[in-house]
Chains A and B, each alone.
Chain A
Amino acid sequence: AQKVTQAQTEISVVEKEDVTLDCVYETRDTTYYLFWYKQPPSGELVFLIRRNSFDEQNEISGRYSWNFQKSTSSFNFTITASQVVDSAVYFCALSEGGADGLTFGKGTHLIIQP
């Protein structure tokens, strides 16, 4: 069965610090997709990135970067020079080729203090 673990329940850092959110997944499929979503206090989930299991290239988008390592079944998310607006709950999710929807981790509540 598929599973996503986000061991960090809450992280609090001071603005401008770098912060890494961990995500470890379990799946038996060779084809799968990994996602990160952001959920601000308003409640709407905001899509950040999608990665398929055959693409291990790291991704950088502005202050955001993602490190995908199949060897350790991890898909970590780093925010560089964090800002107060980055405060939110971040979810990592897994999809096994479209079956059974997305399996989400429990989320990491990120607090950026000014």
Chain B
Amino acid sequence: KAGVTQTPRYLIKTRGQQVTLSCSPISGHRSVSWYQQTPGQGLQFLFEYFSETQRNKGNFPGRFSGRQFSNSRSEMNVSTLELGDSALYLCASSSSSTDNEQFFGPGTRLTVL
């Protein structure tokens, strides 16, 4: 069974631009969660999608948004990038919800210049 895949793996953007990251969950998994990892703040929950609906949301500004498609694939978008958005963005999938085992992808390393 293929694991969680994330594309692209690395991304370099400049301030003010926007970016879209993609995540394909494990086949059969309907829940996709996104996390931001930075050296200062550690791992922080962004949001969770289940059956195309955002079910939970962390404490991030509205510049961070996401969506989920009918095949459970998910995208997250960050608009008006700031230097502080430089981070490793991790996607996790689980069969039903965040209290089940979440399987993480390799992450997308975003650098904002």
Contacts and interface: CB of A to CB of B under 8 A. Distances in A.
Interface of A: 33, 35, 37, 42-47, 50, 52, 91, 93, 95, 97-107
Contact of A101 (B45, B101, B107): B45
Given A101-B35, A106-B42, A43 B88 contact: yes
Interface in B13-67: 33, 35, 42-48, 56-58
> Which 5 pairs from chain A and chain B are nearest by CB?
A101-B45, A45-B104, A104-B43, A98-B97, A98-B99
Contact of B98 (A91, A98, A104, A105): A98
Contact of A91 (B43, B44, B45): B43
A37 B43 CA distance: 12
A35 B97 CA distance: 14
User: Which residue, B43, B45, B90, B97, has most C-beta atoms of chain A within 10 A?
Assistant: B43
B3 to A, nearest CB: 8
Nearest to A104: B43
B104 A101 contact: no
A47 B99 contact: no
Contact of B106 (A44, A95, A98, A99): A44
Q: At the interface, is chain B mostly helix, strand, loop or mixed?
A: strand
Given A35-B101, A44-B104, A93-B43, 17 more contacts: A33-B99, A35-B102, A37-B104, A43-B106, A43-B107, A47-B103, A47-B104, A52-B99, A95-B99, A98-B56, A99-B98, A100-B57, A100-B98, A101-B33, A101-B98, A102-B33, A105-B42
A101 B42 contact: no
Contacts of A97: 99
A97 to B, nearest CB: 6
B39 to A, nearest CB: 10
A44 B88 CA distance: 10
